[in-house]
């Protein structure tokens, strides 16, 4: 099985095992806060570039295309359970009611890095996909909330 055949959840599990070990090692040298900030910055840069590349591959940076990515890629294999609230030309609102990314990070013992490893990617990916898209989110499962509230809107 090639990397492109792995679901996003499977790729994140593999990445988490490596990245969490690196963050822990860097934390010993520079402190945990700085190590996490640095890792988040790099992961967000990677996510922004992934969003840009996805836009190029899909040939559209519209919110309707982002909604398809959420359904087909982010949620692949039941990784996310989502309640869609609003899909228009200028907004994509949904709640995530189950996040297997958080569950898998918990199993791996790295949930404290979950925001950095996964959640911090979301807004950066969207900005790379379309620089006019902004994400507003007030709660996430990864940090103990019962759901994640995703509000993507065009500026």
In terms of Cα–Cα distance, which of 74, 72, 58 is closest to 130? 58
Does the structural domain 3-154 have CATH classification 1.10.1040?
Answer: no
**Domain range list for the chain:** 3-154
Collect all residues with Cβ–Cβ distance below 8 Å to 99 and sequence separation of at least 6: 79, 80, 140, 141, 142, 148
Q: Give the model confidence (pLDDT) of 44-74 as tens digits.
A: 999 999 999 999 999 999 999 999 999 999 9
pLDDT exceeding 90 applies to what percent of the chain? 97
Q: How many CB atoms lie under 10 A from the CB of residue 28?
A: 9
Which tokens go with 62?
Answer: 């519209």
């Amino acid at each position: 099985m090639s990397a492109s055949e792995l679901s996003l959840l499977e790729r994140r599990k593999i990445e988490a095992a490596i990245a969490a070990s690196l963050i822990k090692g860097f934390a010993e040298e520079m402190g945990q806060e700085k190590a996490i900030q640095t890792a988040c910055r790099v992961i967000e840069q990677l996510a922004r570039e992934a969003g840009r590349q996805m836009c190029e591959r899909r040939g559209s940076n519209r919110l309707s295309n982002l909604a398809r990515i959420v359904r087909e890629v982010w949620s692949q294999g039941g990784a996310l359970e989502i309640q869609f609230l609003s899909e228009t030309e200028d907004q994509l609102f949904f709640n995530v009611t189950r996040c297997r990314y958080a569950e898998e990070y918990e199993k791996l013992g790295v949930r404290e890095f979950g925001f950095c490893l996964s959640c911090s990617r979301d807004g950066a990916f969207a900005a790379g996909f379309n620089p006019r898209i902004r994400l507003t989110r007030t709660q996430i499962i990864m940090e103990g909330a019962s759901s994640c509230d995703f509000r993507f809107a065009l500026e």
